[in-house]
Structure 1
Amino acid sequence: MHHAYNGMAATDLQGVVWRKSGRSNSQGACVEFAKLPSGGVAVRNSRFPDGPALIYTSAEVEAMLLGAKDGEFDHLVAD
């Protein structure tokens, strides 16, 4: 696999396993995550699996997940 970078085609991330939440809906409104060999995490839009991937460090993903668990982003989806 080539060096992973933001905006690269998700299809170029060969050998990774993409996963999405079991809470994803049937309309395809979900994102998928893949652990990279470098330790980073790739994120892609499930509706466009060949499209660009965003690449984050494991520390960045950990901070986002902890913030989500603490409710820091609830205002983004609350009515």
Structure 2
Amino acid sequence: MSDLNWQKSSYSSESANCLYLAAGPDRSIKLRESDEPDVVITTTPGGLRALLCGIKEGEFDHLTR
């Protein structure tokens, strides 16, 4: 996984709690968190799109309260 080009959101600070994304060679999307960089979640572009749309629509706001 070290050969992936991990990208962090410009909204993330330099501290912990950062989410990183990378495109896999098989068109998959890889996600990891700065606190656990060896734990990687794999999804599809459509799965990531659905997650981002849900976040933008506020579907998960109740989890942050």
Shared fold (TM-score greater than 0.5)? yes
The percent of aligned pairs where both chains have the same amino acid is 32
Cα distance in 1 for residues equivalent to 2:2 and 2:12: 24
The alignment covers a number of residue pairs equal to 65
**Deviating 4+ runs (over 2 angstroms):** none
Q: Which has the higher contact order (CA 8 A, sep 6+)?
A: 1
- Could you say which residue in structure 1 is the equivalent of 2:19? 31
Alignment root-mean-square deviation, CA: 1.6
- Could you say which residue in structure 1 is the equivalent of 2:3? 15
How far does residue 32 in structure 1 lie from its aligned partner after superposition? 0.7
More strand by share: 2
Where structure 1 has 5 or more consecutive residues not aligned to the other structure, the ranges are 1-12
- Could you say which residue in structure 2 is the equivalent of 1:71? 58
User: Computing the radius of gyration over CA atoms, which structure comes out larger, 1 or 2?
Assistant: 1
